[in-house]
Amino acid sequence: MKLPIVSLTGSLALGALAVLASCSTSQQAESTTAPADRNSSLGAQTNVTTPAGQVQTKGGITLTPYDDSPKFPTAQMQLNSPVSGSTMPSGPVTFSYSLTNFQLTNMTASDHAMQMANSMKGQHIHLIVDDQPYTAHYDTKFAEPVADGQHVILSFLSRSYHESIKHQGAYDLRTITVGTPAAGTAPMAFDTKAPTLFYSRPKDTYSGKDAQKIMLDFYLVNTTLAPDGNKVRATINGTEFMLDQWIPYMMEGLPAGQATIKLELLDSSGTLIPGPYNSVTRTITVAP
């Protein structure tokens, strides 16, 4: 009679182990998804990875595309003032935004925050006036000096390490006038509905660890990129790279000193698309 008892005991033990294993698996899955759930209130998805494309190495420079940063699919930004097409008095212009599902000053949770230049002030807004180098802002209301004249204003949401958020509703493009334009000034010819490229990163100086991996990021309006469509030609220290995805790229191998980056928006035949900002050249300093 002992054998059936032992068998029954063994069956109970195995059943208990199975239940425990099931609970353990359930807890592990909940733990794995919990961080994304906690971020969902701010529109973040921290565990999304998308194939990024081919790594290119030329002239000692390696350009690696990536698309595994946290996503903010429901993040929205609205520029309340200045009003599109309005005329503002001379002097600093007050910018006021409303944001939804995106928290300024939060640190973006990503391995990339440890791999490249990262703002310790957290997530922010990039403001670009006439395709000049952007200024970063960590509040929804601020004043920015803007010269008298007609201006193109681009704003977009940015992760803490300055990677732009690229979906519809995460940016605003408009024109404004500040002060009184000089006599004889022709009306602005900029078309806010035309395909346009805006340069974002890199900028300024990269030193120490930040000089090892430097992000290349730009902003596109009214267009996208494809292998058989429009492309961006990036010329880095004289070496050309053709980019057919609108995602950020990691630059490695830049030598110490000044580096020159030229970006051009091309059509499917390789011709520069007309537009005042579709060809831009910037210089940065690399101090490893």
Residues 174-189 have pLDDT tens digits of 999 999 877 777 778 8
For residue 244, pLDDT over 70 is answered with: yes
The whole-angstrom separation of Cα 275 and Cα 38 is 42
pLDDT score recorded for residue 113: 83
Model confidence at 79, pLDDT cuts 50, 70, 90, reads very high
In CATH, the number for domain 56-287 is: 2.60.40.10
The whole-angstrom separation of Cα 138 and Cα 160 is 10
**Least confident stretch, 39-43, 55-59, 144-148:** 39-43
Residues whose CB falls within 8 Å of the CB of residue 132, separated by 6 or more in sequence, listed in order: none
Model confidence at 286, pLDDT cuts 50, 70, 90, reads very high
Model confidence at 50, pLDDT cuts 50, 70, 90, reads very low
The whole-angstrom separation of Cα 69 and Cα 163 is 9
CA 150 to the chain's CA centroid:
27
**Cβ atoms 225, 241 nearer than 8 A:** no
If one compares 59 and 48, the residue with the highest pLDDT of the two is 59
Mean pLDDT of the region 164-173: 97
Q: What percent of the chain has pLDDT over 90?
A: 75
Model confidence at 144, pLDDT cuts 50, 70, 90, reads very high
What pTM, to 2 d.p., does this model score?
Answer: 0.82
Model confidence at 46, pLDDT cuts 50, 70, 90, reads very low
Query: Measured between alpha carbons, how far apart are the two ends of the chain, in Å?
Result: 78
Mean pLDDT of the region 151-168: 97
pLDDT score recorded for residue 26: 30
**Least confident stretch, 14-23, 126-135, 235-244:** 14-23
Nearest to 123 by CA among 112, 139, 134: 139
Mean pLDDT of the region 223-246: 97
pLDDT score recorded for residue 7: 42
pLDDT score recorded for residue 44: 53
141 half-sphere exposure, CB direction, 13 A CA radius: 3
One DSSP character per residue, 156-218 reads: EEE-TTSPBP-STTSEEEEEEEES-PPTTPPPP---TTS-EEEEEE--SEEEGGGGTSEEEEE
Structural element, H or E, at residue 262: strand 257-266
Structure tokens at 30: 């909940």
Computed over every residue of the chain, the mean pLDDT equals 85
pLDDT score recorded for residue 189: 84
